[in-house]
Structure 1
């Protein structure tokens, strides 16, 4: 691990100032991703700005929804009574990810800012455009079973690892940030980037900006939702495909539909055309299959992950059926319901 300066900030303004004054500075809270990357010599910050003392560890009522401070742990979000009652999709997604120990340490802001990555990113003996821009992407011609089938580029085919973020995408949360130019809000769909020619840049944050909170809207799909996660083992594994789905109904007809996928792209993946297709239709298997077919028609698999296309299609149909029936995927019995 390289040598670095360490600064502990007491306010958001102090954190922003300390970040701007340091060489290759990084904010650190729970450190569940950053510390790993430093140990592997992937990240070499010149300064760590400790933000754990900032007043950002509360969940508060806000404009009919909830405002989750950036330093609220994943566990505290998942077990908060208001989140469980009004946004169970988010609670279930969090509990499907990582381990209890990590959820107790990882922060909300840190979850949003964890690096989109694959095993080549961690291996400093191999090229990686995310580590060293322009060095190449060995995954494209190499081991790519877990990689993206949507939104990839010739520069990077890694997938975003978060479960929380897939649910936040479906809920259409808003990220509030602060930086040298003041505060601003970012729609969740605009917060993470596709790789394009600059895969080393994961988010749309400006230099020196810090995540302050995540704001949840009033509508949370409390009755008709699911988070379905398909993975190689039943715990402590990233998703091969995950589905966050929520419905509102007008009688037997879909009034509002939200759908986001994880494990398939460089960011949580939404298809607005598929959501529009569901609206005004009966909640039938045929309707759900049409939406799934529309989504996977855009898939561009790699040499080893073609199975993800059919896996995604089936997962979408199953997830929509669970959400429509109000029978979300069980967290205690992880067999597909």
Structure 2
């Protein structure tokens, strides 16, 4: 007569047998597989790896599309030429590990939005190319969560009447690797000498662009260069500094009209901010307020140069400067 197995032992045997069965039926480990991409928005369509896949997705985009980059590097130089609409912008979003890499820094743009208004580009790294991200005739576009680095000239350029754009929570660093004197971090508009090239010989009215919580560092030219012809831009809650080998005198150069620098830390090699009248009537009615302005030896927090001194530019008294430095060469108010 067989003896009954005591209940606790029987339970342990059953668990062991069941565990063995589960182990035998379990699928192979997926630890080596890449993590799935979390969609940035409902209805996002994942763009497979590869330059051809990305350019094809950009070419086929229509208003309302959401293009989700894979967590991989897309090697190449990409052009966006389709436009969204106010109600249905087109979204290009990345995830951790999404990179656009243009390779060498001698020529080409890593990401070029050419007439591509009403886009949201977010959460990816952009590196390489002569220029990083360029907007030409692209308005009402939002750039956020970008890291732009390792470029031959400027990192981010808004040009050819690119207006009413919002740029926030981005980092621009290591610019000017090929051409130091053109290594601006953020460049708005175009110089008068280039108006016939970009805007039919008329002023490049890249107006009302807003920059919030941007960080620019390690540039060989200005961290922010605002050209004559532009009006009504805003920079707030940002950190702007040049690299140790910068070939310029100031970290910010304002040559447009009606720009506001607010609540921003600016660190320059000589002056933190300079204001110039390159071509009247531009270089007027700009305001620097509530900012921390770190200048070099003998420099100013804000240096208002030449004709700009009588052009209605304002340096607020609520700015702070490096100990022992002068706030400005005009009275604050």
Give the TM-score of the pair, scaled to structure 2.
0.27
Does 1 or 2 have the higher relative contact order (CA < 8 Å, sep 6+)? 1
Q: Which has the higher helix share?
A: 1
Give the TM-score of the pair, scaled to structure 1.
0.27
